[in-house]
Amino acid sequence: MMAGMTDTPHPLYDRHAETLNRALTAITERGYWSAYPESPSPRVYGETAAADGKAAFEAYLGGDFPLDQPADGERVATEASPFGVALNVRYPHATADQLVAAASAALPAWRDAGPQTRVGVCLEILARLHKNVFELANAVQFTSGQAFVMAFQAGGAHALDRALEALAYSYAEMTRHPETASWEKAAGKGDPLRMTKTFHVVPRGVALVVACNTFPTWNSYPGLFASLVTGNPVVVKPHPRAVLPLAITVRYAREVLAEAGFDPNLVLLAPEAPGERLASALALHPAVKIVDFTGSTEYGDWLEANARQATVYTEKAGLNTVVVDSTDDFAGMCRNLGFTLALYSGQMCTTSQNILIPRDGIDTDQGRKSFDEVAAGIAGVVGKLTADPARGVELTGAIVNDGVLERLDEVSKVGEPVLESRTVEHPVFPDAVVRTPTIVKLDADDTATYAREWFGPISFAIATDFTAHSLEILRATVGEKGALTAAVYSTDAAVLDAAENVAIEVGVHLSANLTGGVFVNQSAAFSDFHGSGANAAANAALTDGAYVANRFRIVQSRRHV
């Protein structure tokens, strides 16, 4: 064994072994399973959990965040809530060199602890975060603009599920080979050759997570925990407008690490001052060997091209597309697509943008529907969902940043609106920035418009010559720009097969005939893959073996017996 490596797993492994084993089963069965209840009901979490979590969140506001880690003496406060709530949380600042030095010093003991100990400690971190999930959900809500229930589910329970999924895949890959092996080979008339061989799981080095504004935990937890459990210390660089959710995450991770006898600098927060470009300084640091990024295509491409010393995992932008051919549930189709477009004001990397409809209309259970009737049916659902401000804002949330508003203004000058975006006054937060979705009619020839991403509450109803033409547009646009999701509606098995073949060709996940409570822009941990790594929208998938296996290496030693 490596000097200092423990043969005995930490007691935390035994405490959480049942959860780990269930997760290992789930990633092989691919059925429904969740370790963390997604309902914020007091019947699930207790009568005081919501109030306690909100109070814990509010205690951070206007103060210095309690985080004892290496720093340069400065504090930064860069967050602006989409709900107009004053946050003013001040975080300790550190330079790239300070952060990397502290993380590097923490690596050897964590590496030598072994996979079982590391996974036990990481599972305890998830348990600590789950204990404080209402605190976390409030932080996600007020920094991302998500409505509370969505923040609790996506930013809390589902993010923890994705983290656990990453732990399960990582543990499976780390333990694929035995720790030791006896080797014997016949050597003619002499004694056989005998050796003992030891196989060490060796981390790559310091890992960097560059987080996004919209889903600061959901998109960050897989990379954070995949790197940490495979032995790499992690520097977490939050988006300047969504620091608090990851500061809370880092705080509880550091607490657990210290309690377990490890250097808390295995997890560090890296908030940046305005204009500092700390993410780039960290990404190019020679000691940083892993980078996880969610965000714009431009910066993701820059990381892939320039962080040459690191393995880089990116989730960027794409052209999520729906092909409408026919349906035996027109109302259900419209309800499903309308909800998809309204959820979080379309500010999800998986929300559909381009809806391809034959210009001559489609066959439905309600008779033949024209192109305009299909577009109006979807728009009507969006309008109904957002008509009542008190109910609508619990679905749409608030607009995350000015870039979305700029795109809404730009799109108002193209095409013909089927549904115009409205400004809505939030009934609780009067300074919240709320805009309802817009749907714009385009022709298939308007490629200059729909062949670029319009992140936000913007989608296009695009008239095509026929369904085969729609599929060709799907092939061309997603083949060039990528996508995270695609959908098809058809009563014709041949059309469904053709759509699936195109999806396979361009590497995009496909959903067929969604009319109920499953939506194209949502994915379930342990069952659905998020991103495929097979097109330009993302170079990796959450979560599979390829996502975790390159975060460590097997180094062997062998000795004669």
- Read off the pLDDT of residues 270-324 as tens digits, 9 standing for 90 and up: 999 999 999 999 999 999 999 999 999 999 999 999 999 999 999 998 999 999 9
For residues 54-75, give the mean pLDDT: 97
Q: Count Cα neighbours of 51 within 13 Å in the Cβ-side half-sphere.
A: 4
**Across the chain, which distance is largest between two alpha carbons, in Å?**
90
Query: Strands 354-358, 321-324: parallel, antiparallel or unpaired by DSSP?
Result: parallel
What amino acid occupies position 418? V
Rg (CA), the chain: 25
* pLDDT for res 44: 96
Mean pLDDT of 409-431: 96
Look at the alpha carbons of 212, 215, 217, 222 in this order and tell me if their dihedral is positive or negative: negative
Task: Give residue-wise pLDDT tens across range 482-517.
Answer: 999 999 999 999 999 999 999 999 999 999 999 999
pLDDT of residue 4: 39
In one letter, which amino acid is 23? A
Q: How far apart are CA 346 and CA 209, in angstroms?
A: 24
- The CA–CA distances, whole Å, from 33 to 28, 39, 158, 264, 524 equal 12, 14, 11, 31, 9
pLDDT more than 90, % of the chain = 97
With contact defined as beta carbons under 8 Å apart, do 228 and 267 qualify? yes
The reported pLDDT for the residue numbered 485 is: 98
Query: Which run of H or E residues covers position 110?
Result: helix 96-113
Reported as a pLDDT band with limits 50, 70 and 90, residue 1 is: very low
Label residues 93-131 b or e (16+ Cβ within 10 Å = b). bbbbebbbbbbeebbeebbbbbbbbbbbbbbbbbbbbbe
Amino acid at 142: F
Which two three-digit tokens encode residue 218? 């959901």
Please count the other Cβ atoms lying within 10 Å of the Cβ belonging to residue 45.
19
Looking at the DSSP bridge assignments, the partners of residue 76 are 91
Identify the CA nearest to 88 among candidates 55, 64, 62, 67.
Answer: 62
In sequence order, which ranges of 317-429 are alpha helices (DSSP H)? 330-342, 371-387, 389-396, 402-411
Residue 363, pLDDT > 60, answer: yes
CA distances 409 to 54, 174, 322, Å, are 35, 50, 24
Residue 254 has pLDDT above 50, yes or no: yes
CA distances (Å), origin 307, targets 187, 293, 302, 541: 49, 12, 8, 20
Measured N-to-C along each axis, helices 158-174 and 11-29 cross at an angle, to the nearest 10 degrees, of: 100
How far are the Cα atoms of 99, 107, 148, 505 from residue 258, in angstroms, in the given order?
Answer: 17, 14, 31, 48
Coil, helix or strand at residue 112: helix
Token pair in block for residue 14:
């035994």
Give yes or no for residue 5 having a pLDDT over 80.
Answer: no
Q: How confident is the model at residue 3 (pLDDT cuts 50, 70, 90)?
A: very low
Global pTM reads 0.96
For residue 199, what are the β-bridge partners? 556
- 3-class DSSP state of 61: coil
Mean pLDDT of the chain: 96
421: CB partners within 8 A, 6+ apart: 408, 412, 435, 436, 437, 438, 457
Q: DSSP label at 192?
A: P
CA distance 373 to 361: 8
- Asked whether the beta carbons of 438 and 332 are under 8 A apart, the reply is no
Does position 357 have pLDDT exceeding 60, yes or no?
yes
Instruction: For residues 227 and 216, give the distance between their C-alpha atoms in angstroms, rounded to a whole number.
Output: 17
For 448-473, write each residue's pLDDT tens digit.
999 999 999 999 999 999 999 999 99
Average of per-residue pLDDT across 341-368: 97
Q: How far apart (Å, rounded) are the C-alpha atoms in residues 472 and 469? A: 5
User: Could you tell me the end-to-end alpha-carbon distance of the chain, in angstroms, rounded to an integer?
Assistant: 15
